[in-house]
Amino acid sequence: MSAFQTAIVPAAGLGTRFLPTTKAVPKELLPVVDTPGIELVATEAAEAGATKLVIVTSPGKDAVAEYFRPQPELEATLEERGKTDLLAKVRRAPNLLTVETAVQDKALGLGHAVGCAEGNLTGADEAVAVLLPDDLVLPTGALKKMAAVREKLGGSVLCAFDIPKEQISAYGVFDVRDTGDDDVKQVVGMVEKPKPEDAPSTFAAAGRYLLDRAIFDALKRITPGAGGELQLTDAIALLINEGHPVHVVVHRGGRHDLGNPGGFLKAAVDFALEHPDYGPELGEWLRARLANS
Ligand code: UTP
């Protein structure tokens, strides 16, 4: 039995960094080569043992949930035409796991968005995974390690990257204590975007969380924080202050921030270069393009 069955994917933000496209297209559906970021994250959740995905959407972003519904007419057409590869791709998302939605009427912050999914939980959900769909954590597998840490140490488990000190002020940074395992630290506090000289560590938060169900009670007790939004990190800080065990798994790998055009392009190029159909030609074109720049 996995440490969690339900994964929450908050996708109700305004996506302002991707305007004007996000006037009409949710950023979670923008394709990394040919697959939306949210499918990559849903696949990661399923691989880590989740059987249910709760997508938090906003009114008008129905296309995100629609993407996970079967498309019988399209499937029949592809079948008739013998397009078996495309058929497999079309069926992939609906077959990953059970998808439900929760609606966040107004973008009041990530903490508020996660709280909106409480009604989708059952009595069996003692912990939930939260995956931010605009944060690709590579290689996948961080959640599995996080689940193993919860099984051993209890409480909530977050994911961290070890970032060079000079870049640390772009991130939420953990104040940590050693546990005897280099890849697992106890969290005693968090600081948002500190100056390098004030940073309590070089461990920066990533968009993967394994949260004890107690988070939903904490979310009801926080007040608006940075940017006037209800912040998930404020609810986690509340739990830490109340003695709830919180640890981070230090993920030794890469990541892509799909939430802004610059980061998204890097991800698309990275994935395309690995793709058997597009990689070789793209690599050649890039080399020639860069030689002429
Ligand atoms: P971001 O801050 O990266 O997304 O939130 P955003 O607010 O949509 O983007 P910008 O800053 O305006 O460009 C991280 C994740 O949390 C979700 C977002 O959809 C994104 O997946 N989120 C954020 C919500 O679901 N609700 C909110 O109120 C805020």
pLDDT band at 30 (very low <50, low <70, confident <90, very high): very high
| Atom of ligand 1 minimally distant from the CA of 58 | 25
Q: Whole-model pTM? A: 0.96
Cα gap 3→147, rounded to integer Å = 5
Q: How far is the CA of 279 from the centre of ligand 1 (A)?
A: 31
pLDDT per position as a tens digit, 149-205: 999 999 999 999 999 999 999 898 999 999 999 999 999 999 888 999 999 999 999
Segment 264-290, tens digit of pLDDT: 999 999 999 999 999 999 999 999 999
Q: How far is the CA of 206 from the centre of ligand 1 (A)?
A: 14
Q: Given pLDDT bands bounded at 50, 70 and 90, which one contains residue 3?
A: confident
Query: pLDDT tens for residues 58-98?
Result: 998 889 999 999 999 999 999 999 999 999 999 999 999 99
Ligand 1 centre and the CA of 257: distance in Å?
12
Counts of helices then strands in the chain (DSSP H, E): 10, 13
Distance CA 214, CA 135 (A): 24
Query: Radius of gyration over alpha carbons of the chain, in Å?
Result: 20
Cα 16 to ligand 1 centre (Å): 9
Residues 98, 51 contacting (CB under 8 angstroms): yes
Peptide bond into 20 cis (omega under 30): yes
Element (H, E) at 218: helix 214-221
CA distances from 27 to 10, 32, 55, 64, 135 (A): 12, 11, 14, 9, 12
Average pLDDT, the chain: 95
pLDDT in tens, 128-155: 999 999 999 999 999 999 999 999 999 9
Map out the domains of the chain with their CATH numbers: 6-259 (3.90.550.10)
Per DSSP bridges, beta strands 98-103 and 52-57 are parallel
pLDDT of residue 1: 59
Q: At what angle do helices 232-241 and 214-221 cross, to 10 degrees?
A: 110
Q: Which of 8, 9, 14, 234 to mutate to test the pocket of ligand 1 (most atoms within 8 A of CB)?
A: 14
Confidence of residue 261 (pLDDT cuts 50, 70, 90): very high
